[in-house]
Structure 1
Amino acid sequence: MGILSKLTTDERRETPYIGKPVPADTTGFERSWTAPADCTVEQLRIWSTPGSEDALKLRPVVRRLRGDPENPESHEDTDIPTYGNGEEFITGEPSGEPFHVNTEMKEGDQIVIIADNTSTDYSYRFRAMPTIDYLGGIRRVIGGVF
């Protein structure tokens, strides 16, 4: 659905599902969602399997593709949320509390969940649900007036 359609319907928000089991003893496992139009990520909720608190590390990022999509050097990753306490990932069995991120995305940008599972015996599932607003930035203000 194009941005013009989103401006003229009630479907201005979306909550995509990003999730998958992370195999045991795996680093750099990725699952992603690609923005179909310019938008704003308002918040992000993350859950993980009970028992995963010591093994599963999750790092959500917005990946902006600049240049050649086949070249990883042309990707720019921005952490969401940004961590003020020196942490580089989410761990400790997150329970779905919202992280308020308010990050702009352009069409083709991705939300990527990068996961490490240090357990040698068990795979652990995570799920992430970002709240996407297609009336982001200046369009949010204009949409609110009409």
Structure 2
Amino acid sequence: MLSLQYPVQNSYPVSQAITHRQFVRWLLALAAFSTVFFASAIHAAGNNPDADAAYQRQRTACTNGSSNQNRATCLREAGAALQAAKQGQLADTPSQYDKNRLERCNVLPEKDRPDCISRMQPGGVVDGSARSGGILRESVMTEVGPPIVIQPPDTAKPSGSQ
């Protein structure tokens, strides 16, 4: 009977060689880690019903023409907002709205900022829209100045008249 023998060409010494059993264990551990990692990433990315609902509203506004952008830009921005929301980078909190509202006043000269801040507060008259070219906020402030004293004309009659 003929016996074929192949020479073993291992670059590692026998003490460092990986056995079949060790390789299978390593492969199973890698598969388990990958499964847990990718499942958690998929779960985190797909579990945001508020973001999905907001995306559907934005998409509807894009397709029916009620947004103030062209359709392609609107859809692209809606998709970007959805992705940012799913990654936790989109903050639509009331405190963020307040911060944004006050940031608009920072570009004005120092003497005009208090008036701008008062116009940005709730209340007052708001007219217009972004689609029509801008939002006009009106607030009325009454300033009371120093009193004006009017001197009555002198009613003394000259000495020669009756």
Place the TM-score, normalised by the shorter chain, in its bin.
Answer: under 0.3
Indicate the structure with greater helix content: 2
TM norm structure 1: 0.17
TM norm structure 2: 0.16
Indicate the structure with greater strand content: 1
Structure with the greater relative contact order (CA < 8 A, sep ≥ 6): 1 or 2?
Answer: 1
